[in-house]
Structure 1
Amino acid sequence: MTETPTPAATPAPAPHHPYGTPTTPHVTVRGEAHLEVDPEIAHITITLTARGTDRRTTLDDLTRRNTTTLDLIRTYGDAIEKLETGTLAIRPELTRHGRAERIRAYHGSIQLTATLSDFTTLGELIARLADQDLTRIDGPWWALRPTSPHHAAARRQAVQGALQRAREYAEALDTRLGALLELSDTGTHGSPRMARAAFSTQAMPFAGAAPEAATDAAPVDLEPVRQTVDAQVEASFTLIPPNLG
């Protein structure tokens, strides 16, 4: 009869002591970074409106104004990183008096969002857009790109700060760091700082006069708002057991 060999017992894993022991003390520290940097992009919102007593005419006016605006923005080429169309709305305005519901006029609006990376043309574009009929400009909102190297720089600085702080604690105990146990990212974010302005042109309803040439508008002087980037980490290290005698 052949005996089946008994498998060797698996050694039990060494117990983990998250808070350290007298022979392997731990130190946990926080590292922080706060950077202030120049913005990389700017967002503006363009709201186009139209009004008329006929729904189709109102929509045609809005469509024509939208096409003119898109063509103008696209002339800036690579300075425009992104151009998006948002909400389009056509709504009736009812008369306030009388029993019967009668439509007094139609109101149309369409919203565009443009992202620019060339700030030298931003003021000129805003002025030319605001010089158009029934056009509202909101912005600019200054920001960093999500892939900006400033975010990585802040994270590195936070890690270096945690390491330096841990070393200072070790020096205070007349010992040194052993190994890194854990590194936690507790927060890395940019805090967008905005300089919001609104530019708009208004026209009398149903006026037939053509607006002035957009190229006659003087550029708007804009100063980019510096952005803040914050990063926080927590790091745990082992310490060479200090002599506390």
Structure 2
Amino acid sequence: MDASSTDAPVPAAPYGTPETPRVAVRGEARLEVDPEIARIGITVGARGSDRRAALEDLTRRNAAVLDLARSFGEAVEKLETGAFSITPELTRRGKGERVRTYHGKVYVIAELADFTALGELTTRLGDLEMTRVDGPWWKLRPDSPAHGEARRQAVLEAVQRAREYAGALGARLSALVELADLGAENGGAYAMARPAAPMPFSASAELAGAPPALDLEPQRQTVYAQVNARFTMTPPAL
């Protein structure tokens, strides 16, 4: 037998040994926290028998929405156009393809962290001509401390469970062998509860004065973390 085979490390037993038993546990944590961001969707519409006129109306109304959102300053953290469309509607009668009217739409997305401004912006947007508002949808920031706190609590629970199992056998934990993250956040990059039901608004610009601001109650978010942990422990007193 050569020296290389003699010095080869012996792999550890996957389930431990009588001298160094292993204990495997799962730690979980679920937190209910206040949201940090609210997201609303704004749909601006226009229609008319003349394509150019419909586009001009859509451009004017879209500019009014953007100007209103920007007037709230830093309260609106993100403002972006999600989609634009101009669609001809054909007549149902006749042999030829004749356009009856044109439908134009622009979809704008806004995110706010100031929930006081959110209520005012939502109603003022809904008061604009041919404008619909959906939302709000509440969420946490990707770097929210709530994610880290949930993971920390999941690890603490795993350690506590392992100690209880070892204690039930008259043993104690001696070393951590493995700690595996199973996906700490629920819902991908954002830990989110289910979206709130959309609140559509459609109002005429002929209304006098500004509408009263909505009193919106933020929907609490659920943050979930889960880990698997393996420890070695001292021989049990059986």
Give the TM interval when normalised to the shorter protein: over 0.9
User: Are 2:140 and 2:192, in contact at CA under 8 Å, matched by a contact in 1?
Assistant: no
Instruction: Kindly state the Cα deviation for residue 192 of structure 1 after the two structures are TM-superposed.
Output: 2.0
Q: Is it true that 1:48 corresponds to 2:44 in the alignment? A: yes
Within 1, Cα distance between the matches of 2:125 and 2:14?
A: 61
Q: Which residue of 2 aligns with 1:110?
A: 106
CA deviations on 1:8-33 (whole Å, 9 max, x unpaired) are: 53611122211111121100001000
SS in 2 for 1:19: coil
CA deviations on 1:104-137 (whole Å, 9 max, x unpaired) are: 1100000000000000111110000000010010
Within 2, Cα distance between the matches of 1:64 and 1:211?
A: 16
- Alpha-carbon RMSD: 1.5
Of the structure 1 ranges 235-244 and 8-17, higher mean CA displacement relative to structure 2 is found in: 8-17
Q: Which residue of 1 aligns with 2:193?
A: 192
SS in 2 for 1:120: helix
Q: Is it true that 1:57 corresponds to 2:53 in the alignment? A: yes
How many residues are paired up? 231
Instruction: Kindly state the Cα deviation for residue 187 of structure 1 after the two structures are TM-superposed.
Output: 2.5
User: Are 2:123 and 2:214, in contact at CA under 8 Å, matched by a contact in 1?
Assistant: yes
Aligned partner of 1:222 among 199, 212, 216:
216
CA deviations on 1:25-82 (whole Å, 9 max, x unpaired) are: 1000010001000010000000000001111111111111111110100111111111
> Which sections of structure 1, spanning at least 5 residues, go unmatched?
1-6, 204-209
User: Are 1:154 and 1:230, in contact at CA under 8 Å, matched by a contact in 2?
Assistant: yes
Alignment of 1:1-245 (within 5 A): 9=4, 11-189=7-185, 190-201=191-202, 211-212=206-207, 216-244=210-238
- AA paired with 2:178? E
Within 2, Cα distance between the matches of 1:202 and 1:60?
A: 20
Within 2, Cα distance between the matches of 1:170 and 1:46?
A: 57
> Which sections of structure 2, spanning at least 5 residues, go unmatched?
186-190
Question: Which protein has the larger Cα radius of gyration, Structure 1 or Structure 2?
Answer: 1
Report the identity percentage.
59
TM-score by length of 2: 0.93
Within 1, Cα distance between the matches of 2:213 and 2:136?
A: 14
